[in-house]
Amino acid sequence: MENFVVIPMVDDNQFCGNIILGPTVFPQPTKASLQELIGIKKSQKAMAEYLQSLKVMSSWKLIHASMLLFYIIYNKMLDFKVIINKNNFVDEGKILQEGMSDKSIAEVLQNATFHQDPAFEKQIYQNITDGNTEEVLLYWKAYHQNTDFKFGKLSKTSELRNQKNRKIASITLSTRAAIAGGLHPEIAYTLGDIYIQELEELQNIKDVESFIEHVIYDFTQRVDKSRNMKYSKIVRDSQNYIFKHIYEDLTLAKLAEHVLVNPKYLSNLFKKEVGIPVTDYIQKTKIDEAKKLMSFSNYSLLEIHALLNFSDQSYFTKVFKKHTGLTPKQYRNRKTGV
């Protein structure tokens, strides 16, 4: 009636002890089952009370809890069937019937057996950390086109929801990888939040797949740029402020006030280190954001220029064409294939 799982702790080939999950019990003990199991002697009353005090958990759930803990500790996914075959559980059929239908059981077993290779996945995020723009998407595409394994399902109700959940996890891991590569944490976390919000707006799987490739590459490119650009703290703080307040009305005076220097000094320093005036950098950053909104949102051009605090539609069009060579309408039509 009792169940428990023992996970040995090994560090550098040295045994450090065990982690024990349990004990649990299933099914919930009844008076009749306890009498049948331990009899009705008064001396067995303590045992009966002990069994009744245990957490009720099916063997199926206990096994999967142990698989999750093992993965957290060792970053390795165990095979569900192997666990059953090598341990003292009741027959496999009974365990499986506790959790789900035969069809979904088969899917879970298949996924558990052929989960993605953590080493392959790790290489993708290492490319982000290294700022390796040449290889990151090659690894990403090879990883997702690999037929040797299947990805686990994170939603039973909708394949779109399933894909979004997986991509949210990818964005989170990409954010951490970018920070490890030297991208300013505030920029990385803000980017991650924005990307998740934009992802949730998408309505079909094809757009989700295209969007995540953009996210992966953008994080990698930002890491690469941050490594190659050795700016002073004043300039870095100015860039971070522009990024965080991109939807506001940004001016040289506001930036100078934020970094506690004279506007003229900031203007000269910024142009010397970055190579373009502060105003051009602000415009370019806003136009880059506008391009993302055109590609991955349903905002109208009128809404986009208002969101980004351009004074009017005409000025927005003029600045957009200056930095892209296209009008906003031409850019959106090209992206949508119109």
Cα gap 320→112, rounded to integer Å = 49
Taking residues 223-234, report their average pLDDT: 81
CB 211 within 8 A of CB 196: no
pLDDT tens per residue, range 191-214: 888 889 888 888 888 888 889 999
Mean pLDDT in residue range 150-154:
52
The most confident of the ranges 42-51, 155-164, 178-187, 261-270 is 261-270
CA distances from 303 to 282, 290, 306 (A): 19, 10, 5
- Determine the average pLDDT of the residues in 59-67: 74
Q: Phi-psi bin for 4: left (phi > 0), alpha (psi -120 to 50), beta?
A: beta
For the segment 252-260, the average pLDDT, to the nearest whole number, is 94
What would the pLDDT profile of 28-41 be if each residue is shown by its tens digit? 777 766 666 666 55
pLDDT computed for residue 120 by the predictor:
64
Sign of torsion over alpha carbons 33, 37, 40, 41: negative
Q: How far apart are CA 311 and CA 323, in angstroms?
A: 17
Residue 101: what pLDDT? 43
pLDDT of 317: 94
Query: CA of 112: how far to CAs of 9, 98, 142, 152, 238, in Å?
Result: 22, 17, 21, 8, 48
From the CB of residue 326, how many other CB atoms can be counted at a distance below 10 Å? 15
Sign of the dihedral through C-alpha 263, 265, 268, 274: negative
Residue corresponding to tokens 């009899």: 39
148 contacts 110 by C-beta, under 8 angstroms: no
Per-residue pLDDT, 244: 83
Q: What is the pLDDT of residues 88-133, one digit of tens each?
A: 544 444 444 444 444 443 444 444 444 455 666 778 888 899 888 8
Q: Is the pLDDT of residue 286 over 80?
A: yes
Structure token digits, residue 179 = 């920070």
Selected from 1.10.1040.10, 1.10.10.60, 3.40.50.150, 1.10.10.10, the CATH number assigned to the domain covering 233-336 reads: 1.10.10.60
Mean confidence (pLDDT) of the chain: 78
pLDDT at 308: 92
Answering whether pTM is above 0.85, one says no
Q: What's the confidence (pLDDT) of residue 65?
A: 79
Considering only 17-21, 117-121, 131-135, 289-293, which range has the smallest mean pLDDT?
117-121
Residue 126, C-beta contacts closer than 8 angstroms, at least 6 positions apart: 177
Of 84, 2, 92, 71, give the one whose Cα is nearest residue 38: 2
d(CA 84, CA 60): 10
CA distance 129 to 65: 31
- Residue 209 CB neighbour total at 10 angstroms: 14
